[in-house]
Amino acid sequence: MTTLTTEALAKTDPALPQDKPAVKSKGHGKCLMNRRQFLLTSSAATATATVMVMINPGTPHAQQVPAVVASYPRKFIANLSELKQDEPVDFTYPDDGAYSESMIVKMGEAAGGGIGPNRDVVAFNYACTHQGGDLSGSYKADTKSLGACPLHLSTYDLTRHGILISGQAYQSLPQVLLELEGDKIYAVGVFGLIFGRADNLQG
């Protein structure tokens, strides 16, 4: 089946509205047209819906094509008050499938995408974005980093959205987007494609 995500369409087709839902999906009562909305929406489990969207609207090539719309689950990860500095806590996200292993850590240092009063709590996927090496257990408190990957030694800076410090990876380490509600921390999305997958939500 031919599939296009509405997200991809929104990015490549400037004719599509960026902030307003274009069509309605069954899952949420609205179709999510950009990543911000994508990630701000909450649901208990991954919801996938196929909807028809218009590509090339207003041109002779206009056609209806099916699009897969999926959203990330909102998953409880930890209580902020229970996180100890520089002691990572592992969890799985966005599902329990391959390469869902992730970690959350309070680093004691403000970080990009960090939550909490000191913006120092961040979460990342554990699969090296080079060749899929397992980064679990490689957190370094002194450099606030993950790695070196046991396969080819890539290292990632957790204060800077998982950017590659040194090594071979093809992109930053996927960062798990967090939300804080009272003391409760929820995972609500992932920035960057998780190793091994063709789509984050089809693990």
Instruction: Please report whether residue 41 would count as binding another protein according to CB under 8 A.
Output: no
Instruction: Please report whether residue 65 would count as binding another protein according to CB under 8 A.
Output: yes
Long-range CB contacts (within 8 A, 24+) of 105-109: 105/139, 105/158, 106/80, 107/141, 107/144, 107/158, 107/159, 109/144, 109/159
Q: 50 or 79, CB closer to another protein? A: 50
Touching another protein, residues 156-195 (CB under 8 A)? 157, 159-172, 174-175, 190-195
Say whether 28 is catalytic. Answer: no
Say whether 152 is catalytic. Answer: yes
Residue count at the site for another protein (CB under 8 A)? 64
Instruction: Please report whether residue 113 would count as binding another protein according to CB under 8 A.
Output: yes
Least distance (Å) between residue 160 CB and another protein = 5
Q: 25 or 175, CB closer to another protein? A: 175
Tokens standing for residue 164: 């590659």
**Is 82 exposed, middle or buried (CB count within 10 Å of its CB: 0-12, 13-18, 19+)?**
exposed
Instruction: Please report whether residue 73 would count as binding another protein according to CB under 8 A.
Output: no
Q: Which of 28, 61, 130, 161 is catalytic?
A: 130
Q: 79 or 143, CB closer to another protein? A: 143
DSSP string, 141-162: TTTTEE---TTT--EEEGGGTT
Tokens standing for residue 198: 């063709």
Least distance (Å) between residue 201 CB and another protein = 8
Distance CA 169, CA 49 (A): 32
Distance CA 105, CA 123 (A): 6
Instruction: Please report whether residue 197 would count as binding another protein according to CB under 8 A.
Output: yes
Instruction: Please report whether residue 54 would count as binding another protein according to CB under 8 A.
Output: no
Distance CA 192, CA 77 (A): 20
* Amino acid at position 178, single letter: L
Instruction: Please report whether residue 155 would count as binding another protein according to CB under 8 A.
Output: yes
Instruction: Please report whether residue 35 would count as binding another protein according to CB under 8 A.
Output: yes
- Which of 203, 202, 190, 191 has the alpha carbon at shortest distance from 3? 202
User: Would you please indicate which residues are annotated as catalytic (active-site) residues?
Assistant: 130, 152
Q: Which residues bind another protein (CB under 8 A)?
A: 2-5, 7-8, 11-12, 35, 65, 97-99, 111-113, 127, 129-134, 140, 143-145, 147-148, 151-153, 155, 157, 159-172, 174-175, 190-203
